[in-house]
Amino acid sequence: MDARILIVDDSVSLVDTLIDILSDQGYDVEACGDGESAWDRLVTGAERKSPMPDLLLLDLNLPRMDGLTLLRRLRADERFALLPVIILTVETDAATRLAVLEAGANDYILKPIQAVELLARVRVLMGWKLAERIEQRRMEQLIEAGRILLSTLDLDSVLERVMEIAMVELGVEDTAIWLREPDGTLTCRAAFGRAASLLVGTQMEPGAGVAGWVLEQKQSALVADAQTDPRFNPTIDRRLGFHTRDLVTVPLLVRGMGTGVLQAVNKKDGGFSPVDLAWMEVLAPLAAAAIASARLFQELQQRTVQLQKQTVQLQAHNEELDAFAHTVAHDLKSPVTSIYGYATMLEETYTELSEDVLYESVHRIVRGADKMHRIIDELLLLAGVRKQEVKAAALDMGSVVAEAVQRLTDVIEQSQAEVVLPDAWPVALGYGPWIEEVWTNYISNSIKYGGRPPRVELGAVAQPDGWTRFWVRDNGPGLTAEAQARLFVPFTKLDQVRVEGHGLGLSIVQRILEKLGGKVGVESEIGQGCVFSFFLPTL
């Protein structure tokens, strides 16, 4: 940052000498020969918002406007009230010195000017002025940082911006933000600098390290020598191959509650100063507020997504309940009506009926009851799959298929179906009782909807992506694309005229495979039959 000095003196030789001395020290120097010109220069610069002098070297005896008058005018104007002024004069009496100091001069140098004395006085005042300008710039940047931080609700952007601001302004090697987890541990949620990629995700126990101490005590810490500070935890340094020399850590507080800490590590130019600590303590509340807002927004987003998922699930459940009610009202009504009709007839005309009619009536009552029993069992299975938690294990698929075929012996015999099985099965992960239900439904449907007589072929193919595809092929008429799209909709029946069914089978299959993490599929063309499949992880 260049320092600017304005010399106001009517002695050309003195002005030239002062310019040479000050320019050699790197100062940007300009001069005016009288008080009126100096005033015009300052006013014009302020109005145009051009760079202003950081220091004024002012002679008392000036044409057009003397130095004391100019000094009083400067101090009366808020634009120049804090401009440092050193008086240059040959007057040695105490009254003159008192007058200029009362008028607002910062210092007083007697002529002839000694270069060493001049530079010493200038350095002191310029140091104050530059420190003031630095702090003013820092405060302006803090205000801007606060505006930026509070204008975004993306947590990652907030964390990155906070660390970047701290790193640039303090001139450090690394910055990090540690946030408190629900169990009290501290997790490095974001880091900026050399060790950033290694540090993110690191955790510390409650109270551990300087960060833990700062969070528990809700006090800032300036550690000049980390390796000798008893609060410092060297574990992270050793793990990351890092060397922490010094650091500043400030708590992030929201309504008095500690949510985390902001940390700056290894000052590049010298050590951390109290000014650095004070600056971090001003940044911390802005960062804490921005982080809290972003985390709240993130939680609200997650809750919204969760609520949307729950709404979709609830809608699906409601649709399923509607379908369930339809099934109970429609499919159970048929066997109940049949049972009631035959039972009423037996009750009213039992003595008048022949033995054959009696037998047929009782047989139809038993068939109706059996149908009701199967419907209720499948409804219970469909509901149970959603609630029951099972552990997947290696399946002996040959035994599972054999059990399914055994359950369908009567159906196979009555329809004269041919069931073709492979010589061997690949090993996959699943839950045996449920997969048996899958095979039972697939084989049963293939017999019902297959050719006359039905031919049902079973098989399996290991996939390169780690899944195994199991399939059942029939010799039926095939399905249209529209019919395929409706296959796995709960309680849908493909052919309500040709086959008596209650539409639960494929719904059960789909729910089982979803619960096991697999999936279902169907391939069909009119006149080419159907291939129903399901996928399980290969062992």
Q: Provide the residue-wise pLDDT of the chain in tens; the chain has 539 residues.
A: 467 899 999 999 999 999 999 888 888 899 999 999 999 999 999 888 888 888 899 999 999 999 999 999 998 998 888 888 999 988 888 888 888 888 888 888 888 888 888 887 787 777 565 545 555 555 555 555 555 555 556 667 767 777 677 767 778 888 888 888 888 888 888 788 776 777 788 888 888 889 899 988 888 889 898 888 888 888 877 777 788 888 989 888 877 788 888 888 888 888 888 878 877 787 777 777 777 777 777 777 788 888 888 877 777 666 666 655 655 565 666 677 778 887 888 888 878 878 888 888 888 888 778 777 766 776 666 666 666 777 889 999 999 999 999 989 988 999 999 999 999 999 999 998 889 989 998 998 899 888 999 999 999 999 988 999 999 999 999 888 887 777 766 554 444 333 334 356 677 788 888 888 888 988 988 888 999 999 999 98
Residue 96: the pLDDT is: 83
Beta strands in 255-395 (DSSP E): 257-267, 393-394
In the chain the first and final C-alpha atoms are separated, in Å, by 69
- Burial of 365-396, coded b for 16+ CB within 10 Å and e otherwise, reads beebeebbeebeebbebbeebeeeeeebeebe
Q: Are 121 and 109 in contact (CB under 8 A)?
A: yes
Beta bridge partners of 175: 192, 264
Give residues with Cβ within 8 angstroms of 488, minimum separation 6.
506, 507, 509, 510, 520
Residue 238: the pLDDT is: 79
Residue 184: the pLDDT is: 86
Beta strands in 121-183 (DSSP E): 172-180
* CA pair distance 510, 531, nearest whole angstrom: 15
List the 55-59 sheet strands across, edge first: 28-32, 4-8, 55-59, 85-89, 107-110
SS3 label, residue 225: coil
pTM of the predicted model as reported, rounded to 2 decimal places: 0.40
- Burial of 204-218, coded b for 16+ CB within 10 Å and e otherwise, reads beeebbbbbbbbeee
Beta strands in 308-392 (DSSP E): none
Beta bridge partners of 457: 420, 473
In the CATH scheme, what architecture does the domain 4-136 have? 3-Layer(aba) Sandwich (3.40)
Q: Name the segment(s) of the chain with CATH classification 3.40.50.2300.
A: 4-136
Burial class (CB in 10 A: 0-12, 13-18, 19+), 472: buried
Of 72, 197, 84, 76, nearest to 130 by C-alpha is 84
Q: Are 289 and 252 in contact (CB under 8 A)?
A: no
Beta strands in 374-509 (DSSP E): 393-394, 418-420, 429-430, 455-462, 467-473
Q: Supply the CATH classification number for the domain 150-294.
A: 3.30.450.40
Give residues with Cβ within 8 angstroms of 193, minimum separation 6.
167, 172, 173, 174, 175, 265
* CA pair distance 171, 331, nearest whole angstrom: 78
Structure tokens at 124: 């002191």
Residue 498: the pLDDT is: 35
Structure tokens at 384: 């149970």
Residue 33: the pLDDT is: 93
Q: Name the segment(s) of the chain with CATH classification 3.30.565.10.
A: 390-537
Residue 309: the pLDDT is: 83
Q: Supply the CATH classification number for the domain 390-537.
A: 3.30.565.10
